[in-house]
């Protein structure tokens, strides 16, 4: 049996490799931030790890920490530059969750007038028994996740 075909590099991997251009805002050893080319609002930017993983849950603790460290600074700079006083952070995982580029990325989306992230939010109910059951299941999974 032949090996599975390697998947082609994502757009963001090609940006990281210098094969495609981007409007770079910030770079360090682990992180790159650049403007989204189809912005929901002025200043909409993407923050990506240099580590090439499709989903957040695959990311190393080091990459996750490096992104977390720089997010507040990028948010302050984007608010100062755009005049926005509100913004959303969005991080999609999986096609069903609206992910189009399969390299981890955080969207930082300023809310400027009616421009920015529109959210469809349909809250359910949380009966006490369901809450206890869910807490137990997630805590069990946490306990068996040794990474
Ligand atoms: P997502 O739906 O979370 O996967 O979002 C992917 C985002 O990447 C979209 O908002 C696109 O506009 C953006 N995008 C795609 N190609 C590029 C590119 N070459 N440079 C900057 N942003 C891009």
Q: CB 53: neighbour CB atoms within 10 A?
A: 14
- Domain range annotation of the chain: 11-120
- Residue 27 CA to chain centroid, in angstroms? 16
Report pLDDT for 7: 82
Report pLDDT for 21: 98
The C-alpha atoms of residue 120 and residue 91 are separated, in whole angstroms, by: 15
Q: Please give the CATH topology (third level) of the domain spanning 11-120.
A: HIT family, subunit A (3.30.428)
* Predicted TM-score of the model (pTM): 0.95
The C-alpha atoms of residue 61 and residue 147 are separated, in whole angstroms, by: 9
Q: Is 105 a catalytic residue?
A: yes
Report pLDDT for 4: 66
Return the ligand 1 atom nearest residue 90 CA: 3
Distance 101 CA to ligand 1 centre (A): 7
Return the ligand 1 atom nearest residue 107 CA: 3
pLDDT means per 10 residues, the chain with 147 residues, are 74 98 98 98 98 98 98 98 98 98 98 96 97 97 90
The C-alpha atoms of residue 66 and residue 96 are separated, in whole angstroms, by: 27
Distance 38 CA to ligand 1 centre (A): 7
Pocket flag, ligand 1, residue 82 (CB < 6 Å): no
Distance 99 CA to ligand 1 centre (A): 9
């Amino acid at each position: 049996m032949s090996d599975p075909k390697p998947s082609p590099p994502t757009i963001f991997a090609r940006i990281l490799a210098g094969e495609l251009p981007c409007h770079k805002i910030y770079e360090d050893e682990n992180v790159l931030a650049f403007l989204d080319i189809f912005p929901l609002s002025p200043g909409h930017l993407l923050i990506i790890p240099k580590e090439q993983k499709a989903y957040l849950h695959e990311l190393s603790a080091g990459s996750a920490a490096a992104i977390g460290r720089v997010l507040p600074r990028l948010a302050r700079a984007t608010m100062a530059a755009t005049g926005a006083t509100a913004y959303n952070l969005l991080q999609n995982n999986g096609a069903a969750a609206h992910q189009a580029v399969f390299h981890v990325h955080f969207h930082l989306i300023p809310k400027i007038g009616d421009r920015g992230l529109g959210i469809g939010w349909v809250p359910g109910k949380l009966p006490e028994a369901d809450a206890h059951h869910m807490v137990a299941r997630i805590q069990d999974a946490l306990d068996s996740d040794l990474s």
